[in-house]
Amino acid sequence: MNSFWHYLFQKTSIASLLPSVVAFPIMLVLGSNLPVEAQSLPPDASPRPNIPPFTPIEPTQPESPQLKPLPPLEDLLEQPPATPPGQQPGDLSGTVEVKQFQIEGSTVFDEEELQELIKQYTNRPITFAELLQVETILTRFYNSQGYINSGAVVPQQDIQDGVIKVQIIEGRLEDIAVKVNGRLSEEYVRSRVARGGKTPLNINKLQESLQLLQLDPLVENLTAELSVGARRDRWNLEVEVNQAPAFKPELFVNNSRTPSVGSFQRGIALNHNNFAGEGDRASFVYKNTDGSDDYEAGYTVPINSLNGTVGFRYRFVESEIVEPPFDELDIDSETDQYQLTFRQPILLTANADSTQELAVGVELSRQANKTTLLNDPFPLSVGANDDGETTVSAVRFFQDWTRRTRREVLAARSQFSVGLDLFDSTINENAPDSKFFAWRGQAQWLRQLDAESNINLLLRSDLQLSTSQLVPLEQFSLGGAESARGYRQDALLGDSGIFASAEVRIPVLRWNENTSSVAVIPFLDFGTTWNKSDDNNQQDEDTLFSLGLGLQLSLSDRLNARLDWGIPLVEVEDQDRTLQEDGIYFSLEYLPF
């Protein structure tokens, strides 16, 4: 009987069943080895493992290359021949009494659900034309759910006691052929496409896997084509991928470091997103100020097709106080930091309107800081031992969630940090040490308010709660370019704290097909820190509050410059010797290619 194949190949096409796979500029928050910031001196010159605010991502960017839609079936497959004689289920003339249908072969839907679709053809005589309708109804149901090469047939049989067997044929992908123009491993591509090509083949899931692959930073664009395989329910998929440029150097300057070690910072970042051809990422960053040198190296390797990764990062910072009058004391600091991170997305979805990712992970970290005064070891920070050393080992459990559409980005992160008595950690009887528990939560919402003028609203929040006193390495920081503009970097440190910010980005000039722009950015920042008291549960609080105006210049994807002027609304003591104390922050980032 050929009604199933006639319906499948004549009445449908992938053009009608599968919406065009569109690549739109939405990035997933993958691989989250989060950098640390430098802490002010005094009291301590070591980096802190602060989770930085999410990097804003504009919801509208230059249009990415679109995926080529899967071609219509009539362009790929020839019309199947008529079913040979002898395949019909018994006598085709007259009617047959049907008490029930026995549906076999379905692994997706319950038989009761399928029986409900064709119950009008039971417990009465039906014609051969109506029997064909049974096939058509079941086949259309499968197709409507995305199973476009699955369907129902009534095989040749001897009808007994009014029971007719209906066979469900579930289609599958027989082969996935991959061609990569670049160094990226073909298996990297194949394993990610195969997630959406499981048996029975569902075109919606296949589309989703192709969209997620297109959004991979390693992929510039891709095309995909389906063709019939050895059998009509066995199809082949051919995927061709153009790899995106993997090496991305960056030069930058800013004045975002603490003035105690020199606020003016320059540096270089070297990132390779496909170091060994397996989708592995390698990075090296060097930053320098008048009083500090900061070296950081990292390597992350994917371990499964769901973008699970394992990463290792090492950072070494040496610094000295260059800010008067403390520069006369010859205060030096050295910090080593090691991080081993496992991150696993547990939810990855994509469609024509949005993408979503939910990931969990665990990180094991060790930080060791040592300070000297006049070249002699000396404890300058709370919790340090007599040799000026503070060592913190911790395990951190984190959860990331991101949802992106063409008009907005919503992201949230939660992290639980548990201090450990491992790897020669600092343990004190009364002072804060490596034994602690803290939770940190962050959220960001970027919303396009007007599509034509590309006016965007950015809301950010950051919260840390601690059950005890913390060493400065783990404290919450306020003040600086990313929190409470208008105040110097790390103006306040506390065991717990909260920060909130709102800004509106208003383009006033755009050119080069809207890839370059100048924007004015009014902003409002607020933050509070508090500490656990030594003798009771009383808490000491400090607050920063500011408003201001920013100016941002973007030249294609190569250069980004920003200048912020913050006006403090709460007075704090400072030395008023750098641009930071005047509320001025600037940054310049340049990508050579």
Residue 316 has a CB neighbour count (10 Å cut-off) of 14
Paired tokens of 173? 């992908």
User: What is the Cα 458 distance to its own chain's centre?
Assistant: 18
Counting Cα atoms < 13 Å in the Cβ hemisphere of 458 gives 20
- Say if residue 21's pLDDT is above 90: no
pLDDT tier at 351, thresholds 50, 70, 90: confident
User: Residue 11 and residue 144: Cα distance in Å, rounded?
Assistant: 12
pLDDT tier at 159, thresholds 50, 70, 90: confident
- The β-bridge partners of 571 are none
- Say if residue 74's pLDDT is above 70: no
User: What is the Cα 573 distance to its own chain's centre?
Assistant: 40
* Helix and strand totals (H; E) in the chain: 7, 29
Q: Could you give phi then psi for residue 11, rounded to 5 degrees?
A: -95, -15
The percent of residues above 90 in pLDDT, for the chain, comes to 75
Paired tokens of 188? 């990297």
* SS3 assignment, position 188: helix
User: Residue 512 and residue 270: Cα distance in Å, rounded?
Assistant: 28
User: Residue 298 and residue 282: Cα distance in Å, rounded?
Assistant: 6
- Compute the average pLDDT of residues 336-354: 95
- Say if residue 49's pLDDT is above 60: no
How far lies 215's CA from each of 162, 210, 358, 409, in Å? 54, 9, 16, 15
DSSP per position, 27-84:
----------EEPPTTT--SEE-PPPPPPP--S--SPPPPPBPPPPHHHHSPPPPPPP
Looking at per-residue pLDDT, the higher value among 72 and 486 belongs to: 486
Paired tokens of 48? 């802190």
pLDDT tier at 65, thresholds 50, 70, 90: very low
DSSP conformational letter for 520: E
546 CB-near residues (< 8 Å, 6+ apart):
484, 485, 486, 487, 524, 525, 526, 566, 567, 568, 569, 570, 583
Alpha-carbon dihedral of residues 67, 189, 296, 257, nearest 10 degrees? Answer: 20
In this structure, are residues 435 and 421 in contact, taking their beta carbons and an 8 Å threshold?
yes
- Say if residue 53's pLDDT is above 60: no
pLDDT tier at 551, thresholds 50, 70, 90: very high
What mean pLDDT, rounded, does the chain reach? 85
Paired tokens of 562? 């920003």
How far lies 177's CA from each of 184, 189, 218, 225, 227, in Å? 15, 10, 19, 10, 11
pLDDT, residue 541, reads 64
User: Residue 226 and residue 19: Cα distance in Å, rounded?
Assistant: 15
User: Residue 188 and residue 185: Cα distance in Å, rounded?
Assistant: 5
pLDDT, residue 67, reads 33
pLDDT in tens, 224-238: 999 988 888 999 999
- Say if residue 124's pLDDT is above 90: yes
pLDDT in tens, 160-180: 899 999 999 999 999 999 999
User: Residue 286 and residue 265: Cα distance in Å, rounded?
Assistant: 10
pLDDT tier at 12, thresholds 50, 70, 90: very low
Note the maximum CA span of the chain: 108
- Say if residue 32's pLDDT is above 70: no
pLDDT in tens, 77-106: 233 333 333 344 544 557 889 999 999 999
Q: Which amino acid is at 192?
A: R
- Compute the average pLDDT of residues 113-127: 94
* SS3 assignment, position 215: coil
User: Residue 549 and residue 522: Cα distance in Å, rounded?
Assistant: 4
- Say if residue 300's pLDDT is above 70: yes
| Rounded (10°) angle between helices 3-11 and 128-144 | 50
User: Residue 59 and residue 24: Cα distance in Å, rounded?
Assistant: 10
- Say if residue 410's pLDDT is above 60: yes
- Say if residue 2's pLDDT is above 50: no
pLDDT tier at 134, thresholds 50, 70, 90: very high
The three-state DSSP-derived secondary structure of 245-305 is CCEEEEEEEECCCCHHHCCCEEEEEEEECCCCCCCCEEEEEEEEECCEEEEEEEEEEECCC
Looking at per-residue pLDDT, the higher value among 320 and 380 belongs to: 320
- Say if residue 282's pLDDT is above 60: yes
Omega cis (within 30) before 245: no
Q: Which of 5-9, 113-117, 500-504, 541-545 has the lowest mean pLDDT?
A: 5-9
- Compute the average pLDDT of residues 28-54: 33
The three-state DSSP-derived secondary structure of 81-116 is CCCCCCCCCCCCCCEEEECEEEEECCCCCCHHHHHH
- Compute the average pLDDT of residues 508-513: 92
Domains of the chain, earliest start first: 178-243 (3.10.20.310)
pTM, two decimals, is 0.83
Which run of H or E residues covers position 11?
helix 3-11
pLDDT, residue 323, reads 92
pLDDT, residue 451, reads 87
pLDDT tier at 76, thresholds 50, 70, 90: very low
pLDDT tier at 70, thresholds 50, 70, 90: very low
Q: Which amino acid is at 211?
A: Q
Q: Which of 50-54, 203-207, 447-451 has the lowest mean pLDDT?
A: 50-54
- Compute the average pLDDT of residues 72-78: 32
pLDDT, residue 540, reads 59
Looking at per-residue pLDDT, the higher value among 530 and 512 belongs to: 530
- Say if residue 158's pLDDT is above 60: yes
Looking at per-residue pLDDT, the higher value among 243 and 451 belongs to: 243
